[in-house]
Amino acid sequence: MNTNGLPRIVITGVGLTAPNANNLRDFRKALLDGVSGLDHAEIRHMGKRVAGFCDFDETKHQSKKMRKRGTRAGAISVYCAHEALADAGLELVNLDTSRIGVYIGITEHGNVETENEIHELYQNDLNIEYWSHHHNPRTVANNAAGEISLNLKVTGPCYTIGAACAAGNMGLIEAVHMLRLGEIDQALAGGVSESPHTFGIFAAFAAQGALGHHEDPKLASRPLDKKRNGIAISEGGCLYTLERLDDALERGAKIYGEIAGFHINSDSTDFVLPNSSRQVQCMQAALKRAGLTPQDIDIVNLHATGTGQGDIQECKAVREIFDGHSEASINFTKGHIGHCMGAAGALELAGNLLSFEDNMVHPGLNLDEIDPDCALKNLVYGRPRDKKVKVILNNSFGMLGINSALIVRAY
């Protein structure tokens, strides 16, 4: 039990796919070595654009028939779920599948499938017979979790959490609640996104003047940099196996870390412009829940999208809490992988998780000349930094003013 008398929740498995790796160890190495996953890709109606695509085996854990019937987001989810269970050393034959919960954070869902079907209609003189009878199950919001449920035959509570780009953290937070309530015994939780498979998201960010670009695609995502020009859109997924500490210890599980604190709040001020005051409140509340102070934090991972005001507002919030009060190292991940939307928070936490083992802080990428409005004490970029790491704070913020902060500590 923690100090509030609640069960302690720990991470015992990680399954992921990112634009630069398909498992946790390779992902960590790519971040330490400065390996980008971004490239130019031909996007329907948009031409050549910078994007981050994952390269994993879609049929490693499901049949080609089920993959054809399902979605890209579902394929990412199924892959990550299997990898997370295997990493945790859990086999479904030994578990009560009615006591397993699946909580998948998503940004949006169904756009890819709908765009593809509309495209097919226009290629075939608007013949409605080309509209797939799989459309409804493909586009319902619970699809990603539902495809995991069907694939693993998990009968516990499986659903998605729509939380824009805060969704990865939100999936984990929901799992913590359900484990503490005793509704489940194991959780698969995190976030997924298939965003670059839809032209609409590229068109919308381009219309906002917030679509990142560079002649060298690996340099297009430049959080905090003076020459940053927007978001590099990527896909990805990261799911964690979470358990109550007592259960993990009883079976001798490897423990990556413990969920120590978290908080969710809302700006209530603008559709897209972040509110630094609310971000401050979110981080402060997460620290309070964890029983920690800024001085206890070793790494702050920024949301840092590479947009002008987004980066400035977050840096302002982080300075208010950590400047002059902490020796926390500050890093960011989107320079390596772009913005993985609903998967961003979960992947970015995973990128720092192995700091508990190797005692290094991975650097931010593509920061050549820092924007003075984004200057932060102890910002790590260019090369890794040696540091004893015991506590990580992971920021993840989203459109319509949803904020999340998640704190993980070494066990």
Q: What is the pLDDT of residues 194-210, one digit of tens each?
A: 999 999 999 999 999 99
Q: What is the pLDDT of residues 47-104, one digit of tens each?
A: 999 999 999 999 999 999 999 999 999 999 999 999 999 999 999 999 999 999 999 9
User: CA angle 293-31-389, nearest 5°?
Assistant: 30
> Is the pLDDT confidence value at 325 over 80?
no
Q: What is the pLDDT of residues 92-135, one digit of tens each?
A: 999 999 999 999 999 988 899 999 999 999 999 999 998 999 99
User: Which candidate, 191, 210, 222, 206, places its Cα nearest to that of 106?
Assistant: 191
Strand partners for 258: 10, 409
Domains and CATH numbers, the chain: 9-250 (3.40.47.10), 261-409 (3.40.47.10)
Name the maximum alpha-carbon separation found in the chain. 65
Give the pLDDT mean for 296-309.
98
Task: Count CB atoms within 10 A of the CB of residue 209.
Answer: 10
Share of the chain above pLDDT 70, in %: 100
How sure is the predictor about 309, in pLDDT bands with cuts at 50, 70 and 90?
Answer: very high
Q: What is the pLDDT of residues 180-189, one digit of tens each?
A: 999 999 999 9
Q: What are phi and psi of 220, to 5 degrees?
A: -75, -30
The pair of structure tokens assigned to 75 is: 């394929």
User: If you average pLDDT over every residue of the chain, what do you get?
Assistant: 97
**Amino acid letter for position 318:** V
Give the pLDDT mean for 381-398.
98
**Amino acid letter for position 304:** A
3-class SS letters over the chain? CCCCCCCCEEEEEEEEEECCECCHHHHHHHHHHCCCCCEEEEECCCEEEEEECCCCCCCCCCCHHHHHHCCHHHHHHHHHHHHHHHHCCCCHHHCCHHHEEEEEEECCCCHHHHHHHHHHHHHCCCCHHHCCCCHHHHHCCCHHHHHHHHHHCCCCCEEEEECHHHHHHHHHHHHHHHHHHCCCCEEEEEEEECHHHCHHHHHHHHHHCCECCCCCHHHCCCCCECCCCCECEECEEEEEEEEEHHHHHHCCCCCCEEEEEEEEEECCCCCCCCCHHHHHHHHHHHHHHHCCCHHHCCEEECCCCCCHHHHHHHHHHHHHHHCCCCCCEEECCHHHHCECHHHHHHHHHHHHHCHHHHCEECCECCCCCECHHHCCCCECECCCEECCCCEEEEEEEEHHHEEEEEEEECC
> Is the pLDDT confidence value at 150 over 90?
yes
pLDDT of 2 reads: 78
CB 407 within 8 A of CB 391: yes
> Is the pLDDT confidence value at 5 over 90?
no
d(CA 270, CA 105): 22
How sure is the predictor about 326, in pLDDT bands with cuts at 50, 70 and 90?
Answer: confident
User: CA angle 343-345-350, nearest 5°?
Assistant: 95
pLDDT of 324 reads: 82
> Is the pLDDT confidence value at 331 over 90?
yes
pLDDT of 4 reads: 77
pLDDT of 1 reads: 78
